[in-house]
Structure 1
Amino acid sequence: MHATPHPLQPLLSKVRRIARISAEDEASLLALPHRVNHVGASRYIIREGDIPRECCLLVDGYAARSKLAADGGRQIVSFHIAGDILDLQHLFLERADHSVQAMTEATLVWLPMAGLRALIAERPAIGTALWRDALVDASIFREWVLNVGRRDAKTRIAHMLCEFIVRSEVAGLGTVDRMRLPFTQEQIGDATGLTAVHVNRMLRELTDEGLIERSPGVLRVRDWAGFKRAAAFNAAYLHAAA
Structure 2
Amino acid sequence: MSTPANLAFFSSRMSDRAILSYSDSEALAALPHARRRVNANAYIIREGEPPRSTCALLISGLAFRQKLTADGARQIISVHLPGELLDLQHLFLNIADHSVQTLTEAVIADIARDDLESLMLERPAIARAFWVDSLIEASIFREWVLSVGRRDARARIAHILCELAVRMRGAGLIGDSENFVLPMTQEQLGDATGLTSVHVNRTIKALAAEGLIKHSGRSIMIANWKALSQIGDFNPLYLHLDQVSPRFAVPMDTLFVSPDAS
Q: Do both share a fold (TM > 0.5)? A: yes
Aligned residue number for residue 188 of structure 1: 189
* Residue aligning to 2:9: 10
- Give the CA deviation at 1:141: 0.6
Shift of 1:121: 1.2
SS of structure 2 residue aligned to 1:18: coil
Paired position in structure 2 for 1:208:
209
State TM-score, norm by structure 1: 0.95
Structure 2 Cα separation of the partners of residues 97 and 208 of structure 1:
41
> Which amino acid in the other structure matches residue 187 of structure 1?
Q
Query: 2:257: which partner in 1?
Result: none
Write the deviation string for residues 153-206 of structure 1: whole angstroms up to 9, x where unpaired.
Answer: 010011111111111111111134322211100000000010000000000011
1:65 counterpart SS class: strand
Instruction: Give the structure-2-normalised TM-score.
Output: 0.88
Contact 1:7 1:109 in 2 (8 A): no
Preserved contact between residue 42 and residue 102 of structure 2 (Cα < 8 Å): yes
Which position in structure 2 is the counterpart of 1:47? 46
Misfit runs of 4+, over 6 Å? none
- Root mean square deviation, CA, Å: 1.3
- For structure 1, the 5+ residue unaligned runs are none
Q: Aligned residues, how many? A: 238
Q: 1:74 and 1:8 mapped to 2: Cα distance?
A: 33
SS in 2 for 1:20: coil
Partner deviation per Cα, 1:53-104 (whole Å, 9 max, x = no partner): 2111001000010000011000000001001101111111111100000010
Secondary structure of the residue aligned to 1:174 is coil
User: What do residues 86-137 of structure 1 show as CA deviations (whole Å, max 9, x unaligned)?
Assistant: 1111111111100000010000001110000011111111110000000001
Cα deviation for residue 33 of structure 1 reads 1.4
The Cα shift of 1:7 comes to 4.8
In 2: Cα distance, 1:47 partner to 1:200 partner: 29
Query: What is the 5 A alignment of 1:1-242?
Result: 6-52=5-51, 53-175=53-175, 176-240=177-241, 241=243
| Alpha carbons 1:59, 1:83 under 8 Å: kept | yes
1:216 deviates by 2.8
CA distance in 1, matches of 2:68, 2:10: 29
The runs of 5 or more residues in structure 2 that have no matched partner are 245-262
Counterpart secondary structure, 2:35:
strand
Is the contact between residue 41 and residue 103 of structure 1 (CA under 8 Å) also seen in structure 2? yes
CA distance in 1, matches of 2:60, 2:95: 25
Using a 3 Å threshold, how does the CA distance of structure 1 residues 180 and 13 change in structure 2: closer, same or farther?
A: farther
Letter of the aligned partner of 2:149 in structure 1?
A: G
1:47, 1:99 within 8 Å by CA — same for their partners in 2?
yes
Q: Which amino acid aligns with 2:204?
A: L
Equivalent residue letter for 1:17: D
